[in-house]
Structure 1
Amino acid sequence: MSSKLFEGLTLGGLSLPNRIVIAPMCQYSAVDGNATDWHTIHLGSLALSGAGLLIIEASAVEPEGRISPDDLGLWSDDNEAALGKVLASVRRHFAMPIGIQLAHAGRKASVRVPWQGNAQIPADAPDGWQTVAPSAIAFDPSKEHAPEALDADGLSRIKAAFVAAAQRAERLGLDLIELHGAHGYLLHEFLSPLSNLRTDDYGGSLDNRMRFPLEVFEAVRAVFPAHKPVGMRVSASDWADGGWDIDQTIAFAKALEAQGCSFMHVSSAGLISTQKIAVSPSYQVPFARAVKAAVTMPVIAVGLITEYEQAEAIVATGDADAVALARGILYDPHWPWHAAAHLGAQVQAPNQYLRSQPQRFKSLLVPNPA
């Protein structure tokens, strides 16, 4: 019996060799938004994993859109050149589809890196800045200063920044763009009634709260080549009373699909500090299943997907079209190799590694075309 996990998948005009996606994972290792040698090591390792798609970490579209001062960015010529150097090194040795997640952190910006505690950096500190959001409500009002509510000029500036970053992504030859509409960052902040208390055309009703994320998607889609996919990562639930939920997510998914969205990557949470999440293996898969039932575009499931049979079952039963791995693939960078061995499938590997496969799996690894 063949493995569904290792069947090909098409996102827009992009063909993937299997249905394993490496989710974007912040490395907090950039300098002024510029990729460093760490990114060459990190992305190079993941490119050898055998996964079908690698999505580069959340990359800020303007300096104030970074989560931390150490976040990757794609707002300047220097950012573009630095990431281009990393991509050239990775692609020289291994060919695989590579995309990027474009993001703005909104009110969750200007914080310390995780291993330094994630505390908000004051706006008047040398390495901090004033955050912005749909409304002047802090992520954690007991600990943080409030963001500034974006005015019309601010909305136009940020939309233009997403467009410029998308154009840089195309010049870098990236295969895909994922817009970050999840985890409490700016686009998610517009969607949720807990963070968006505006009274203009961008707040109040569901249609109004969806307006700015949809405008950003439409603007990015217009400048990125039509044959290359543009998708959206969403939080399907705020895990909080009165917040964003799966019904609103489905409405958003339908609106995105009508605008030509190529895929939806379904996560959850991150909007407020008082969220209450029921965490267990595959705990977000029901959200992906509900979205997939409502749209025809491919849907990616993510969240505590760690076991080979678990991943196979998610795609084989039609709960999602693909699964995304994050921390699990950091822990085991050859997870797709091991999954292929377990499920009787094949993955691509560099010629230098072909001799590593055990004799009992002599047809497991096949040469990569790079």
Structure 2
Amino acid sequence: MSKLFSSAKIKNLELKNRIVMAPMCMVTSDDKGYVKDWHEIHYGSRAIGGTGLIILEATAVESRGRIKNGDLGIWDDSHIEGLSRIVKTSKALGAKVGIQLAHAGRKCEIKSEKIIAPSPIAFDGSYSTPEEMTKDDIKVVINAFKEGARRANEAGFDTIEIHGAHGYLINEFLSPLTNKRKDDYGGSLENRTRFLREIIQEINTVWPEDKPIILRVSGEEYVNDGNHPEDLVDIINLVKDEGIDIINVSSGAVVHANIDAYPGYQVPFAETIKKGTGLPVIAGGLITEPEMAEEILKNNRADFIFLGRELLRNPYWPLEAANKLKEDIEWPHSYRRAKI
């Protein structure tokens, strides 16, 4: 039996396979962050295709937390209705559904928004210089993550993912490349982790105990003075007892860097984090072949495999992967009844 198509259970999240759709910004909303019919069709088609867990794109906990105009939002109760439609449709089609709670920080590209970050350092010359966050700003954003989690639960999501990767706000606090603060939120690794820890603590006041929380991290920043997999192990070990159940391991995008991207290039980072933290991990990075996914899982290098662009190209990748691995899985009901 293939490992890729084995079931898994973490808390009350029961997955039919180990295939995860990575969160990918679709920039298909409006300037208010509302769900469109397109989103329901987009995610629903991946559910039909057999994906076990769909994680919605980066969804902003504040208006100024969007990366671009067109990103989904979860900063107002009025967003719940549209998000719940995505959940209802995708779950009815066989997938479990999570949502990535995000804040862009200094990488917000919307000129009309007030850009904030741990330190007043622009991402590059094309971005605005952010304002350094005050203690009050920090409290406001922490509460925004808490309220986002509350709304996600009301919308019916099976899990939430805290976006701590790719150079966005949480990652900006975690990285010594972007956090130059001299107060309790900067300097030592423990201080740089404080913002994330307080977010997790507040989220857990509103998020049900029986639903897991995923943390996405950049396991490697590709710059000597940045964070590396061993640093992420230390960071995660500082916060995991606050209520983190799964680590989704990506890399890069904190600062500009040369990245040698090849099939599976991020898997070693996931492997290090899995061994160092004892938590289940989601690994990925240009993985397109089911045999490669199977190797990673069977050699215990990761517990789940995320696919990004491959699922954009082919929503039915899981069904095709099952065929290649000679795995007899249940197809969508209507497909089983179809007559040619």
User: Which category describes the TM-score, using the shorter chain as reference length?
Assistant: over 0.9
Partner of 1:289: 271
Match of 1:268, as an amino acid?
A: S
User: Which secondary structure state, in structure 1, belongs to the residue aligned with residue 205 of structure 2?
Assistant: helix
Match of 1:328, as an amino acid?
A: E
Partner of 1:202: 185
Q: Partners of 1:253 and 1:53 in 2: how far apart?
A: 22
Partner of 1:45: 45
| Residue deviations 1:77-118 (CA, integer Å, cap 9, x gap) | 221122223333444x413211111000000012xxxxxxxx
| Residue deviations 1:240-264 (CA, integer Å, cap 9, x gap) | 1201111110111212322221100
Choose which of 280, 289, 297 in structure 1 pairs with 2:262.
Answer: 280
Partner of 2:244: 261
Match of 1:276, as an amino acid?
A: N
| Residue deviations 1:173-199 (CA, integer Å, cap 9, x gap) | 110000000001000000000000000
User: Which secondary structure state, in structure 2, belongs to the residue aligned with residue 289 of structure 1?
Assistant: helix
Choose which of 202, 224, 233 in structure 2 pairs with 1:219.
Answer: 202
- Contact 2:48–2:94, Cα closer than 8 Å, also in 1: no
Q: Does 1:184 align with 2:158?
A: no
User: Which secondary structure state, in structure 2, belongs to the residue aligned with residue 290 of structure 1?
Assistant: helix
Q: Partners of 1:161 and 1:315 in 2: how far apart?
A: 36
Q: Does 1:309 align with 2:291?
A: yes
For structure 1, which segment, 73-82 or 160-169, has the greater mean C-alpha deviation from structure 2 after superposition?
73-82
User: Which secondary structure state, in structure 2, belongs to the residue aligned with residue 180 of structure 1?
Assistant: strand
| Residue deviations 1:18-75 (CA, integer Å, cap 9, x gap) | 1111111111011211000110110111111212111111100010000011100111
Partner of 2:13: 14
Partner of 1:56: 56
Q: Partners of 1:176 and 1:206 in 2: how far apart?
A: 27
Match of 2:43, as an amino acid?
A: L
Choose which of 200, 222, 235 in structure 1 pairs with 2:218.
Answer: 235
- Contact 1:301–1:322, Cα closer than 8 Å, also in 2: yes
Partner of 2:157: 174
- Contact 1:234–1:265, Cα closer than 8 Å, also in 2: yes
224 and 295 in structure 1: CA distance in 2 versus 1, 3 angstrom threshold: same
Choose which of 100, 106, 115 in structure 2 pairs with 1:131.
Answer: 115
For structure 1, which segment, 6-15 or 315-324, has the greater mean C-alpha deviation from structure 2 after superposition?
6-15
Match of 1:317, as an amino acid?
A: N
Q: Does 1:74 align with 2:74?
A: yes
User: Which secondary structure state, in structure 2, belongs to the residue aligned with residue 29 of structure 1?
Assistant: coil
- Contact 1:6–1:340, Cα closer than 8 Å, also in 2: yes
Partner of 1:4: 3
Consecutive unaligned residues of structure 2, counting only runs of 5 or more, are none
Choose which of 320, 330, 338 in structure 1 pairs with 2:302.
Answer: 320
Q: Partners of 2:107 and 2:49 in 1: how far apart?
A: 31
TM-score, normalised relative to structure 2 = 0.96
Q: Partners of 1:179 and 1:281 in 2: how far apart?
A: 25
Q: Partners of 2:239 and 2:9 in 1: how far apart?
A: 18
Consecutive unaligned residues of structure 1, counting only runs of 5 or more, are 111-120, 359-370
- Give the root-mean-square deviation of aligned CA atoms: 1.5
Q: Partners of 1:176 and 1:90 in 2: how far apart?
A: 14
CA deviation after TM superposition for structure 1 residue 220, in Å: 1.1
Partner of 2:104: 105
Q: Does 1:163 align with 2:146?
A: yes
TM-score, normalised relative to structure 1 = 0.88
User: Which secondary structure state, in structure 2, belongs to the residue aligned with residue 222 of structure 1?
Assistant: coil
- Contact 1:102–1:178, Cα closer than 8 Å, also in 2: yes
Q: Partners of 1:213 and 1:350 in 2: how far apart?
A: 40
User: Which secondary structure state, in structure 2, belongs to the residue aligned with residue 349 of structure 1?
Assistant: coil
Match of 1:312, as an amino acid?
A: E
CA deviation after TM superposition for structure 1 residue 357, in Å: 10
- Contact 2:50–2:94, Cα closer than 8 Å, also in 1: no
User: Which secondary structure state, in structure 2, belongs to the residue aligned with residue 241 of structure 1?
Assistant: coil
- Contact 1:33–1:70, Cα closer than 8 Å, also in 2: yes
Partner of 1:363: none
Q: Partners of 1:356 and 1:254 in 2: how far apart?
A: 50
Q: Partners of 2:89 and 2:244 in 1: how far apart?
A: 30
- Contact 1:65–1:109, Cα closer than 8 Å, also in 2: yes
Instruction: State the aligned residue count.
Output: 339
For structure 1, which segment, 254-263 or 45-54, has the greater mean C-alpha deviation from structure 2 after superposition?
254-263
Partner of 2:319: 337
Q: Percent identity?
A: 43
CA deviation after TM superposition for structure 1 residue 326, in Å: 0.7
Q: Does 1:85 align with 2:67?
A: no
222 and 357 in structure 1: CA distance in 2 versus 1, 3 angstrom threshold: farther
